[in-house]
Structure 1
């Protein structure tokens, strides 16, 4: 018997529908499978299906519309390049639980000074599902931030640490947007399944409240991340 079979049936139904949403098979605004359809698929009662849907409503993944059905209310995680901020801050602000997995954590010499080179997979947990969004590489001066190399960044936010322990408040970034063809290792850690995807990358620097450079950054985004870019056109001149 599969491990999932030990779950209550309503939880199995919820996991099934949740997976359809988080995997992109059901998009924001689309109807989820009908109650009769789920009853037939899982050979269960309407009450069990409604209990499962109620859990999804509580999680904020779907909404019921009287007389019409139940619809997805989940938008893929997006970034605005004009409002780039700390990843953990952004995820918490959107109701997700930020995830960091340290890939590399080492002290290197750069320009005659010691630096922390920190490479992390970044993602978010929603309900029981985890999604990885990016591979982030940071370089930070250990002369500026002594002891930073001793911090466990799988369980601590980099920017929270800079604020709390060094009185440094990241305030702005200067970043260049480009694309990269990942090698096999990068594709594997980001979970890319397409052959030779062109991935968006940002690289540049972050600055603190005194306009001092505090971090060199390179971020390679998974192909699942959607970017929103907005522009403002100048008003037409009066004749």
Structure 2
């Protein structure tokens, strides 16, 4: 990665006059450094779970102060993109870490919490490659008819089918994804996406509404068609706000509830 140009050093103007026209006027220096670190994350310079260079090394690399680097890293850590470990350094956050896993898991058991609940049992109903319908293509920033992978699965807790999900993924990015791969991975699905496809989901947007399941959906969830379920549509993004997953789920809420902490 190239260093910042000399005039950007902690806001110092060059000797003998005003700053040149190309000098950044609207973005604080730490935000520029944040952008450069994000660029490295996006292009895989540091993989999920790996340590990034120290603040001193990054300060030398970008020719800025350690305080500027620290502020950039603080923001990235607050956004769950980096993780600080006392005495060990700063690491690229990964969905294999428990504190990150539960950032995207919002359905909690009525008694206890997700950390005390046994992992969900996954039943893959289908995993196929097909052409994207218009709504799926629009969500994933593809063209109608582009290849996507569709996965349909049921997640059960303590033997009770609780979540029915349809997942769509860009076909070119997730080429080769199979039902066996989805079923056999023991950890979080997003961790498998990181490990096997180099894709890290960094944020998501969700829409919720109450609906009634159709006959087939009710059968998969072992409920009647008159039982309301929570419909959750999620669009998950990787770095640079690139959409990488459209997920539509139906959640039973007789033993679980949807929980979101606002701050």
Q: TM class, shorter-chain normalised? A: 0.5 to 0.7
1:84 pairs with 80, 88, 104, which one? 104
- Partner Cα separation in structure 2 for residue 120 and residue 167 of structure 1: 22
Q: Report the secondary structure of 1:97's partner residue.
A: coil
Are the equivalent residues in 1 in contact too, given 2:106–2:260 (CA < 8 A)?
no
Structure 1 residue 148: Cα displacement: 1.7
Q: Report the secondary structure of 1:116's partner residue.
A: strand
Greater share of residues in strand: 1
Tell me if 1:148 matches 2:168: no
Consecutive unaligned residues in structure 1, runs of 5 or more: 1-81, 233-239
Structure 1 residue 86: Cα displacement: 9.1
- Partner Cα separation in structure 1 for residue 115 and residue 198 of structure 2: 22
Runs ≥4 residues deviating over 2 A: 82-87, 91-95, 149-152, 227-232
- Partner Cα separation in structure 1 for residue 106 and residue 176 of structure 2: 21
- Measured on the aligned residues, the alpha-carbon RMSD in Å equals 2.7
Structure 2 residue aligned with 1:203: 233
- Partner Cα separation in structure 2 for residue 148 and residue 211 of structure 1: 23
With the length of structure 1 as denominator, give the TM-score of the two structures.
Answer: 0.53
Work out the number of aligned pairs and report it: 143
Q: Report the secondary structure of 1:204's partner residue.
A: strand
Per-residue CA distance 1:104-147 (angstroms, 9 max, x = gap): 2211101231111100001234xxxx222100110001112221
Consecutive unaligned residues in structure 2, runs of 5 or more: 1-101, 108-112, 133-143
CA 1:142–1:153: 2 relative to 1, 3 Å: same
- Partner Cα separation in structure 1 for residue 250 and residue 166 of structure 2: 9
Are the equivalent residues in 1 in contact too, given 2:155–2:161 (CA < 8 A)?
yes
Tell me if 1:228 matches 2:248: no
Structure 1 residue 186: Cα displacement: 0.9
